[in-house]
C-alpha cells in the first residue's frame, strides 16, 4: 500500500469507531488516486463510496479483534461488493473433476525434509502476475508449477504463457476466463508437446482465438503430472519439499479478499473455487504455515503472497488447501529453443481481398449473408460494429455508436483504452473511443 494512504488509514482507524463521512470520503479519494479509479457517473461514485465504507468497517472490525493471527487492509478490491469480487476474481472448476485422478500412493520420499523451504530463494518462482477480471486462476497455478519444476530440472526460469492456455486449451472443462483445472492444463501441455513463453504469447486477460503459430512453439515441456492424495498433508509437505505445487482453495471469503499480512487461519469454507501455488513452507512463533503465491497482483497480500495455516485440525486443511493438490513431472531438458514466431502476414478477408498486417477485415456491404465489399479496421482482432462504419478493440467489444464509444462489460470502472486497468468486477462498463474504418 502507498505510504501516504497507509498513514491516512492508520490515523482514521485510530480515531474510530466514530469515522466521519468526511474522513472516509478523504480516504476514498486517496484510494481512488492510488489505484487510478474513476467512475462513469456521480451516482456510480456514490455507490462505490458506500461499498468502500462498508469494506473499511469490516476491515476495522477484524483488526480490532486483537487475537487474530493476520490483519486485513484496503487493496484494489475495496470498492467491490463481495458478490462482485467473487464473480470476477475466481475461476477454479472443481465440479468437473475426473474420477481417475492420477494419485501416486507412494510418492518418492524426500530424505530429511527441511524444516522450511522457500522456492523463491532457489530462483524457481517467477514474478507475481495479475489475472485481472479474467477467471483464469487455474492457468496461473499451472504455469507457476511448470515454471518451478523446469527451473529445478534445467536451471532456467522461464515465464510461461497463461494466454496460450486460455485461448487454446478449450477441452471441457477448461473454459478460459470462465474457469478450468490445473490437471487438464498439464494434460493439454503434454499432448501439445510443450508450451510457449509469456514473452512470445503475452497475457491479455480476455478469451481469444488460439494462435496456432505460437501453439507450435514448444519452449518448455513436461513428462506428466501427479495428484497428491486428497487430505494428506504429510504427502503434500513431501511434494512441496521437492517443487512448487498447484492447489485449489476456497478463496472467496471476505477475509481472504482483504488479507494483508500474517498467518491466515480462516474463517473460510472448503468449497474450492480458486487456484493458487504453494511455493514453500515455514513456521513463525511455533505456528506452521504454507507460503502461497496468488495471481491478483503485488498490491494484494504480502506483495502477492499469503501465509496459510499448516497443521490444521481439519484434514482438508485451511480453506481446503489439502484437498486438491497436483504437480507436473519432468526429468529431461527442453527441446532446442525455437526461433521467434514469424511476423504476421496480411489478413485475408476472402480469396480476392485482404487487409494489412495487424488489421481486421470488416464487411462493408452484404447481400443475403455474403459479403460483397470489405473495409479494413486498423486494429488487430477487432470487433466490427453493425453500422459498418466503426470497429472496436477486442477487449472493448461492445459498440455504442450513438455515444461514439466502445464498451467493456466487465468492470466497475470507466476509463479510456490507454489508461491502466485494475482488477474489476462485472457490474458496469469501461469504455474506449470508437475507431473508423
Contact 325/228 with Cβ under 8 angstroms? yes
Output b/e per residue, 26-58; b: 16+ Cβ within 10 A. ebbebbbebbebebbeeebbebbbebbbebbeb
Those residues whose C-beta lies under 8 Å from the C-beta of residue 41, and which sit 6 or more positions away, are none
Q: Residue 274 catalytic? A: yes
Strands (E) in 125-243, as ranges, are: 224-228
Confirm if 73 and 256 have CB atoms less than 8 A apart.
no
Q: Which of 306, 206, 221, 209 is nearest to 265 (CA)?
A: 306
- Residue 310: which residues within 8 A CB-CB, separation 6 or more? 233, 237, 281, 288, 289, 290, 317
**Rounded-to-integer distance, Cα 425 and Cα 88, Å:** 5
Task: Evaluate whether 352 touches 373 at the Cβ level (below 8 Å).
Answer: no
- 294, 299, 322, 410: the catalytic one is 294
Q: Determine which one of 32, 137, 319, 392 is catalytic.
A: 137
Whether residue 391 lies in the annotated active site: no
Task: Pull the grid cell for residue 364.
Answer: 462493408
The SS3 of residue 317 is coil
Residue of 32, 75, 274, 349 with catalytic role: 274
Q: Please say whether the beta carbons of 193 and 292 come within 8 A.
A: no
Nearest to 154 by CA among 144, 165, 146: 146
Give the residue among 188, 172, 176 at the shortest CA–CA distance from 98.
172
Q: How far is CA 110 from the centre of its chain?
A: 31
Q: Among candidates 296, 303, 260, which has minimal Cα distance to 276?
A: 296
Helix (H) and strand (E) counts for the chain? Answer: 10, 19
Q: In 3D, which of 38, 143, 42 has the Cα closest to residue 414? A: 38
Look up residue 252 and give its three cell numbers. 472467496
DSSP 8-state symbol, 229: P
Active site residues: 137, 274, 294
Amino acid at each position: 500500500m502507498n505510504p501516504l494512504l497507509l498513514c491516512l488509514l492508520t490515523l482514521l482507524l485510530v480515531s474510530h469507531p466514530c469515522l466521519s463521512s468526511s474522513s472516509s470520503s478523504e480516504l476514498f479519494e486517496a484510494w481512488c488516486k492510488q489505484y487510478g479509479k474513476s467512475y462513469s457517473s456521480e451516482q456510480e461514485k456514490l455507490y462505490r463510496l458506500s461499498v468502500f465504507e462498508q469494506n473499511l468497517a469490516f476491515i476495522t472490525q477484524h483488526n480490532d479483534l486483537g487475537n487474530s493471527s493476520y490483519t486485513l487492509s484496503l487493496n484494489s478490491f475495496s470498492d467491490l461488493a463481495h458478490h462482485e469480487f467473487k464473480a470476477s476474481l475466481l475461476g477454479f472448476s472443481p465440479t468437473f473433476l475426473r474420477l481417475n485422478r492420477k494419485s501416486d500412493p507412494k510418492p518418492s520420499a524426500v530424505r530429511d525434509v527441511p524444516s522450511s523451504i522457500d522456492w523463491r530463494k532457489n530462483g524457481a518462482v517467477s514474478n507475481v502476475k495479475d489475472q485481472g477480471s479474467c477467471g483464469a486462476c487455474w492457468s496461473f497455478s499451472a504455469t507457476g508449477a511448470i515454471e518451478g519444476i523446469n527451473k529445478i530440472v534445467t536451471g532456467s526460469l522461464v515465464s510461461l504463457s497463461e494466454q496460450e492456455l486460455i485461448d487454446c486449451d478449450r477441452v471441457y472443462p477448461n473454459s478460459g476466463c470462465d474457469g478450468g483445472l490445473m490437471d487438464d492444463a498439464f494434460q493439454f501441455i503434454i499432448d501439445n508437446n510443450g508450451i510457449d513463453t509469456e514473452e512470445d504469447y503475452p497475457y491479455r486477460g480476455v478469451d481469444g482465438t488460439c494462435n496456432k503459430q505460437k501453439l507450435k512453439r514448444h519452449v518448455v515441456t513436461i513428462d506428466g503430472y501427479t495428484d497428491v492424495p486428497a487430505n494428506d498433508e504429510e504427502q503434500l509437505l513431501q511434494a512441496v519439499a521437492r517443487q512448487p505445487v498447484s492447489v485449489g482453495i476456497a478463496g472467496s471469503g471476505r477475509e481472504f479478499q482483504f488479507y494483508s499480512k500474517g498467518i491466515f487461519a480462516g474463517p473460510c469454507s472448503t468449497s474450492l473455487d480458486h487456484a493458487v501455488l504453494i511455493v514453500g513452507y515455514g513456521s513463525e512463533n511455533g505456528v506452521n504455515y504454507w507460503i502461497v503465491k496468488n495471481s491478483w497482483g503485488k498490491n494484494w497480500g504480502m506483495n502477492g503472497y499469503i501465509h496459510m495455516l499448516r497443521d490444521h485440525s481439519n484434514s482438508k486443511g485451511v480453506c481446503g488447501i489439502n484437498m486438491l493438490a497436483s504437480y507436473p513431472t519432468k526429468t529431461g531438458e527442453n527441446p532446442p529453443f525455437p526461433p521467434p514466431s514469424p511476423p504476421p502476414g496480411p489478413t485475408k478477408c476472402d480469396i480476392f481481398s485482404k487487409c494489412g498486417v495487424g488489421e481486421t477485415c470488416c464487411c462493408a456491404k452484404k447481400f443475403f449473408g455474403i459479403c460483397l465489399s470489405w473495409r479494413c479496421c486498423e486494429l488487430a482482432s477487432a470487433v466490427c460494429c453493425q453500422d459498418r462504419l466503426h470497429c472496436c478493440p477486442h477487449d472493448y467489444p461492445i459498440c455504442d455508436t450513438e455515444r461514439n464509444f466502445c464498451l467493456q462489460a466487465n468492470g466497475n470502472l470507466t476509463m479510456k483504452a490507454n489508461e491502466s486497468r485494475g482488477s474489476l468486477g462485472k457490474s458496469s462498463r469501461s469504455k474506449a473511443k470508437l475507431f473508423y474504418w
